[in-house]
Amino acid sequence: MRLSDYLKGVFEVDRDANALEYDHEWHTWGELGHSIKAVNDALDTSGLGADTGVAILLRNHPAHYAAIMAMFISERCIVTINPMQPLDRVKSDLKRLRMPAIIAETEDWNASGLRDLAREIGSVAIELTGDKTNPVKFVEGCENLGSGDHHAPLEGIAIQMLTSGTTGTPKRVPLKRKHFEKAMAGAMVYERDRNEGDPPKLRSGVQLLQTPFVHIGGIFGAANVTLAGRQMCLLEKFTVESWHDAVKRHRPKVAGGPPTALRMILDADLPKDDLSSLVALRAGTAPLAPEMVDEFLDRYGIPVLENYGATEFAGGVAGWSLGDFKNHWSEKRGSVGRVQDHIDARVVDQEDFSELPIGEVGLLEIKGSQIGDGKSWVRTTDLAQLDEDRFLYILGRADNAIIRGGFKVMPGDVVKALEAHPSIREASVVALEDRRLGQVPVAAMILKRGARPPSDEELGNWIRERMTAYSVPTAYKFVEELPRTPSLKVSAPDVKALFEGMRFSVAQNR
């Protein structure tokens, strides 16, 4: 499947049919196609052809959806920029990257100094106007590539994607076009009426798009639903209210979100009838507690289908199908699903990296046509277990262990224990540097609605009853909301910043 050709075919099936709804307003396939052509025409006029790196300040707006599709159709490279970060960081990122072209909407171009920066770099600068008739225009003085040292063409790269930064500083990962196409083909296995090689066509049903486009899950979701020819309801960001409204109006069969969003939906206690169209919810981007899956089943009768992937993998490599869930959830509870047929997976020893037998715990390694060179094993930092049926269990991150005075503390285990407390809705445990012990764990938490905050002593005793004493955090903070990445994952660096200035010279809570 060549992504560019297939996408062009989808947009031409029925140009008058509704394609994407945003803020209760529909955009047709033809209107979106007009915006796509306008973006590509502007880049063509400026002499920027295939493989050009185009930095896009991505927001969940229709114009940005069109810009993403324009890059895929023209086989240019999307270089993701998060406009929600501080403006100085945005400008620093753009200046460091020196991409030949920058695309942003009017609101972002009006930010202090951004137009001047584009002129300084000599980048072609395109403004997304939001006008259906005239969707793009050049930033004055940035119609053509200026002098200077610009980034070389990114040959064969579909996306230069920022990782989420969940556990550290985000880094850029180049996703090859052929790997992204393989990932798109792999996603088809989760739908009964889609097969690789099918001609472009429009299908029934509306799919919700809520994951930020600046995250691989957002771009993956937008491309996948477009290739399927389904209508889309685009949410600027996830809120329970907007999600609930979209589900009631559009009656989708499948929806979903990261575990954080699913937890918010459960806490809102939405009426069962309002969700009656859903035959499944999909979840990804962060570990999903099996208890949450059981809670959705008990309250709404809706299976939650988890998937596992990473930016480096161009999407998912394992996941639950509805059939697998119905047949195997009770016996495979807690798995992230079955490894996809075109993916090889194994578990290796953490010390000598020798392959371990089925059922043993070690580091997960992945090999497949959409990963790396397609022939070599790629080692993750995830502790995993594989069973004889290729169901995968993710048990934590090997690189996330806190070494406290020589003792290993697994933050995920402490989080699980804290979240079992009747007052705590969600917790995050990170490491602080300690002069004597090396590292100590600290915990930030969100209270359940109406709950009283337990004392440090109560929490310490609670952990000691369930874990070793050295796992007890040395400090606790209750917050209204945990800091998160654009994909709603908890951001460990920002949680650590909540405790900035705290240093421990003696062991506490031992």
Which residues are CB-neighbours of 500 under 8 A, at least 6 positions away? none
Around Cβ 448, how many Cβ atoms within 10 Å?
13
**Which residues does residue 206 pair with via DSSP β-bridges, in sequence order?**
231
Contact 187, 207 (CB under 8 A): no
> Any bridge partners for residue 407, and if so which?
404
Instruction: Please say whether the beta carbons of 252 and 277 come within 8 A.
Output: yes
**How far is Cα 15 from Cα 28, in angstroms, rounded to an integer?**
6
Find the farthest-apart pair of alpha carbons in the chain and give their distance in angstroms, rounded.
70
Residue 463, CA distances (Å) to 303, 397, 443, 471 in order: 31, 20, 12, 7
Closest by CA position to 379, among listed 405, 415, 402, 355: 355
Task: Mention every residue, 6+ apart, whose C-beta is less than 8 A from residue 50.
Answer: 74, 75, 76
Q: How far apart are CA 305 and CA 283, in angstroms?
A: 6
Could you identify the residue written with the tokens 């994952």? 489
pLDDT of residue 136: 97
Domains and CATH numbers, the chain: 3-180 (3.40.50.980), 238-397 (3.40.50.12780), 401-497 (3.30.300.30)
Q: What is the pLDDT of residue 506?
A: 34
Strands (E), 227-288: 231-234, 254-256, 280-283
Q: CA torsion, points 114, 116, 118, 120, in degrees to nearest 10?
A: -140
The predicted structure's pLDDT at residue 183: 80
Instruction: Output Rg (C-alpha) for the chain, integer angstroms.
Output: 24
Compute the distance between CA of residue 90 and CA of residue 105 in angstroms, rounded to an integer. 14
pLDDT tens string for the chain (510 positions)?
689 999 999 999 999 999 999 999 999 999 999 999 999 999 999 999 999 999 999 999 999 999 999 999 999 999 999 898 889 889 999 999 999 999 999 999 999 999 999 999 999 999 999 999 999 999 999 999 998 899 999 999 999 987 655 444 567 888 899 888 888 877 776 676 777 778 999 999 999 999 889 888 899 899 999 999 999 999 999 999 999 999 999 999 999 888 878 988 998 999 999 999 999 999 887 778 899 999 999 999 999 999 988 767 767 889 999 999 999 999 999 999 999 888 999 999 988 999 999 999 999 999 987 787 888 999 988 899 999 999 999 987 777 788 887 777 889 889 999 999 999 999 999 999 887 787 899 999 999 999 999 999 999 999 999 888 889 999 999 999 999 887 788 888 899 999 986 654 333 333
What is the Cα–Cα distance from 320 to 100, expressed in whole angstroms?
41
Rounded to the nearest 10 degrees, what angle do helices 62-74 and 216-228 cross at?
A: 80
pLDDT for the residue 163 = 64
pTM across the whole model: 0.80
CA–CA dist 119, 96 (Å, integer): 14
Distance in Å from the first CA to the final CA of the chain: 58
**Distance from C-alpha of 62 to C-alpha of 495, rounded to nearest angstrom:** 32
